Amino acid sequence: MSVGHTGVTTSEPREPVIVCETPQDECGVRDVLDRLGDKWSVYVIVELASGVRRFKELQRRIPGGVSQRMLTLTVRRLERDGLVNRTVYATVPPQVEYELTELGHSLTHLVKALADWSIEHRPVIAAAREAWDDAGRTPAFGS
């Protein structure tokens, strides 16, 4: 023990947030978190929560300027996961519309809760970052 260390700090153990059969199992959580943690999926889910959107309309409404290729990959992944329905109309040129499935809609309250938490805690996070920077530490990954 160091000279300045006078005792051991302990806290009550907390219940794990996720409990899986084995650590390797991950309960399938990794797949879902990877999908929702990518750059564009949450934006697509938020936009489609308001209703059916055509591809170009969806692209215009997503902040940050998602490319056509990235939006195509994102909606395909969300469709594969059962979160988005894609409807193609036999017109010239073909019209394509996207909408959330029932499963996709069930996710929107969680996305809203995360957004609400983020807005509520933004000042505290900004203050923590400023304190970190003032202490001369360097953030990881350039954030």
Residue 36 maps to which CATH number? 1.10.10.10
Q: How is residue 98 annotated by DSSP?
A: E
Question: Is residue 59 domain-resident?
Answer: yes
* Tens of pLDDT, residues 26-76: 677 777 777 778 889 999 999 999 999 999 999 999 988 899 999 999 999
* Tens of pLDDT, residues 88-143: 999 998 899 999 999 999 999 998 998 899 999 999 999 999 999 988 887 666 55
Question: Is residue 112 domain-resident?
Answer: no
Edge-to-edge strands, sheet with 84-89: 53-54, 95-100, 84-89
pLDDT tier for residue 9 given thresholds of 50, 70 and 90 = low
Question: Is residue 115 domain-resident?
Answer: no
pLDDT tier for residue 21 given thresholds of 50, 70 and 90 = confident
- Per the structure, the count of domains in the chain is 1
pLDDT (0 to 100) of residue 74:
96
Decide which of 63 and 17 is more confident.
Answer: 63
Question: Is residue 7 domain-resident?
Answer: no
Give the CA count within 13 Å in the CB-facing half-sphere of 17. Answer: 2
* Tens of pLDDT, residues 56-66: 999 999 988 89
Question: Is residue 38 domain-resident?
Answer: yes
Question: Is residue 127 domain-resident?
Answer: no
Question: Is residue 51 domain-resident?
Answer: yes
Domain region containing 41: 26-104
Question: Is residue 138 domain-resident?
Answer: no
pTM above 0.75, yes or no: no
